[in-house]
Amino acid sequence: MKKLEYKPTNYPSDMTDAQWEIIEPLIPIGNKSDWHKRSLVNAIFYIETTGCTWRLLPQDYPPHNTVWSFFRRARNNGLWDRIKDALVNDLKEK
């Protein structure tokens, strides 16, 4: 399996390294995606923060249809709720 390199973007909605360390263990590995999972999650956070439509996602992120597909699977299998819960619980502990 290839190791994807994360290419950071510079949006206020992007996760910090500490936040990524919290949720990275929750995200399954082993698919054939050409995109780093952190880029996909950051793109979803951008959409949730700005309220933009999927098609207006900035080009710094993966293609909108790839992000939507990842989000749909994560939402349907409960992963998205686990990601948000882990981040909220981390905030509560601080």
Q: 1 falls in which pLDDT band (50, 70, 90)?
A: very low
Confidence tier at 13 by pLDDT (50, 70, 90): very high
**71 belongs to a structural domain:** yes
At 32 the pLDDT is 72
Structural domain contains residue 14: no
Range scoring the smallest mean pLDDT among 4-8, 29-33, 37-41, 88-92 = 29-33
3 is a domain residue: no
Would 27 be classed as within a structural domain?
Answer: no
d(CA 57, CA 50): 10
| Mean of pLDDT over the chain | 91
Domain that holds residue 59: 36-93
58 pLDDT more than 50: yes
Structural domain total, the chain: 1
CA distance 48 to 71: 11
